[in-house]
Chains A and B, each alone.
Chain A
Amino acid sequence: MLNYGWIIPAIPAVSFLLILFFGKRMPKKGAEIGIVALSASFILACVAVYQWIDRVESATGGHASGLRALGRGVFGAEGAGHGEAVVTPVIHHFTWWQNGGIEFGVGIRMDGLAVMMLFVVTLISLLVHIYSTAYLENDIRYTHYFAMLSLFTAAMLTLVVADNTLQLLLGWEGVGLCSFALIGHWWEEGANSRAALKAFLTTRTGDIGLMIGIIILFFAVGSFDIGRSNLYALTPNADHGMLLAASACLFIGIIGKSGQFPLHTWLPDAMAGPTPVSALIHAATMVVAGVYLGARLYPVFFNGFSIGHGGVNFMVLIGGITIIIGALLAFVQDDIKKVLAYSTISQLGYMVMALGSGAWVAAVFHLFTHAFFKALLFLGAGSVSHSGSHHSFDMKKDMGGLRKYMPITFWTFMIGTLALAGIFPFAGFWSKDEILVTAGRSGYDIFLVVGLVGAFLTAAYMTRCVYLTFFGEYRGHGHPEESPRVITGPLIVLSVFSIGAGVLAWSAWPFHLEKFKEWVEPRVSFPVVVHPGFDYSKAAISLAVATLGIGIAAFFWFKREEIGALKGLTQRNKVAHAGYTFLVNKYYLDALYENVIIASIKGGIANAAYWVNQHVIDGVVNGAGRGAKIAGKFTYEKLDQRGVDGVVNGVAEITGESGGLLRYLQSGRVQRYALLLFGAVGLLSLFLLLANS
């Protein structure tokens, strides 16, 4: 399967076309095509994962003393000391077109990172497909919804297998387009279509950076190929200025796509889409594309931002800020999906911070585990709204006390919450811990603290969210019940992964597995990064911090009714109230974008453009129009009416007249014809006689 990796994205792409053209005629309105296609893709992705693991294991076993990986062998004493065998990625490439000696190709680059992503994307997309059959039952655009889901997955998979930056950009834009269409799925409501536009335009802002970055990288390397770009970035004589410019521009793309500060504002609004779409966007397809790009071109960022030196850089700074602002905003949301959206922003901050501090494996592992528990939480929230709160997402108005009515949803949601909060032994614990340990070890101590604060906040806001949704008294007006099995099934599958995925990096006593690093970390063209082992003290600290977060939040929410001082704190205390207002208004970032930046564009530039439009362009257009009118009139009256029509009419008249005369000859009487015949013979004979005499 590694050699035929292109099939995995091709299947959902074909399924998209099939659903679009034949979906409405199918008995299940096209959903079955999507599910079958994604199942096929998922199975093939599993095969690819198996083959890749086999490739790594056999290389490690058979050629332990083989060639050193280029990156490590050349640049790192530490890497060389590990004695790891080289495992080259499987690359297939063919030229799409070429121009002036520059090749533009499409191809696949299958390595640990790619097959890991293939597994995650196809699994979550498959579960989302199944879940959607119940969640969007009887929807007006049911068939189109499934078509877009397929295309969304296909675009993401194209991005994942890409072996060059152009193909990556293709998938990237496809993902953006599909998320636009799916967020605006219910476009009849103005707010939804505005949210879709906002998501599209905000990520486009980042995409400009991405495109410029790709171009700069192309001129630095001389190729769009990802492997060559990484190799170039690692050579000692690489142009550092170019790399810095390229990585800064590429990072702007990541900021836009992965919802980093300050372009994170589209992500909460994207909750306007159907919940399964939110799960897909947040877990597998859309936002992780940015982190994936960072991981894919890691050597470029590593050397561009000088990550190895341990100083504060653009990437780690943005990641750190995003962790905190996302987590803080999650506290003031009443909409359960928005809590999760801000939580995603914060968790993506972790990943970006990890990338920025040299913790590549930790970042990718967090991406892996986060995909499962965030998809689980979103699908859980969808289940609550589907069967528990009459399609509302307002935790304060329509939820509460649901644990009694929806036990499966409750327990799976709890598992997701514990995984997200980083409680041992759930998946999130291992990945978050690895990020914190690596950040601390690489000389980013301050970001270790930021990460711990983030962990505290995460645990606290998730406790608040769980309390408001599942505890207390039911505040809605419906009849809450457990969701159907198509909805709870995916939840159970995802909760199994949320519990168990951490095993892949279980590095504490009594096992030392660390399989994730072995399987996923590239061994060619890769910078030397620190791989600290499991640190019991730091793990204990992060666990204590998370437990403290849960404890304080639980105390606050469960005892709120009994202790008067806690109740209505934000209304009475000035400082708390100011903070609350500041957060509710999302740091006034939307206000900044809309009222200051967009308004100034509207006011100044738009007015100038309007003036130019009215006076210059309209003048030219009107002048051209007037001239054309005069010329047209002349042509009509003189040339057309008199010249052309005269000729045509004349021909017709002549034909008519001559026909009128000639019809007397056609009498139909044989004898008159004979008379003409003999008359003609007589005349010709006379002519002959006269001519010869």
Chain B
Amino acid sequence: MALNNFLILSAFLFCTGIYGVLARKNAVLVLMSIELMLNAVNINLVAYSAFHKAVAGQVFALFLITIAAAEVGIGLAIVLLIYRNSHTVDLDDADQLKG
């Protein structure tokens, strides 16, 4: 199998993720889009690992999955707190960062 197919899939997933992050109003969906982007990176890592016959890429991918899990945990917790405070998960309403 050619490397290109994997890379195209990865690029597609990544772009979908970016779209989701930028366009979606729902914070949960934004989090899911971030997961998509991370998985696109994972696919890239595994594909290159197989292509170069080097195991390091797969090890990185395993680490990434772990980190992504932790990240989602924190992200969901933040979303939950935002919801508790303002009874919404619409990101346009959460603009306190402008200071």
Contact = CB atoms under 8 A, between A and B. Distances in A.
A157 B8 CA distance: 109
Contact of A667 (B18, B21, B95): B95
A668 B97 CA distance: 4
A666 B22 contact: no
A666 B98 contact: yes
B99 A668 contact: yes
Contacts of A670: 91, 94, 97
B98 to A, nearest CB: 3
B97 to A, nearest CB: 5
B96 interface: yes
A138 interface: no
A671 B91 contact: yes
Contact of A668 (B22, B23, B96): B96
A675 B22 CA distance: 6
A401 B98 CA distance: 101
A456 B40 CA distance: 133
A82 interface: no
Contacts of B96: 668
Nearest to A667: B98
Interface in B47-96: 91-92, 94-96
Interface in A637-666: 666
Contacts of B94: 670
Contacts of B30: 671
B21 to A, nearest CB: 6
A582 interface: no
A674 B92 contact: no
A675 B18 CA distance: 9
A669 interface: yes
B74 to A, nearest CB: 15
Contacts of B22: 671, 674-675, 678
Interface footprint category on B: 10 to 19
B31 to A, nearest CB: 12
A665 to B, nearest CB: 10
A679 to B, nearest CB: 10
Contact of B21 (A666, A668, A669, A671): A671
A132 to B, nearest CB: 74
A666 B99 contact: yes
A669 B99 contact: no
Interface in B1-40: 18, 21-23, 30
A678 B18 contact: yes
A675 B96 CA distance: 18
A671 B92 CA distance: 8
A394 B94 CA distance: 99
Interface in A429-449: none
Nearest to B18: A678
Contacts of B91: 669-671
B98 A668 contact: yes
Interface in A415-435: none
A669 B96 CA distance: 8
A475 B28 CA distance: 116
Contacts of A673: 97
Contacts of A678: 18, 22
Contacts of B95: 667-669
B21 A674 contact: yes
A550 to B, nearest CB: 105
A334 B18 CA distance: 117
B3 to A, nearest CB: 20
Nearest to A668: B98
Contacts of A666: 98-99
Nearest to B25: A671
Interface string A386-406: 000000000000000000000
A666 B97 CA distance: 8
Contacts of B18: 678
Q: What are the nearest 3 A-B pairs in CB distance?
A: A668-B98, A668-B95, A668-B97
Interface of B: 18, 21-23, 30, 91-92, 94-99
Interface of A: 666-671, 673-675, 678
10 contacts: A667-B98, A668-B97, A669-B91, A669-B95, A670-B97, A671-B22, A674-B21, A674-B22, A675-B22, A678-B22
Given A668-B99, A669-B91, A673-B97, 13 more contacts: A666-B99, A667-B95, A668-B96, A668-B98, A669-B92, A669-B98, A670-B94, A671-B21, A671-B23, A671-B91, A671-B92, A674-B22, A675-B22
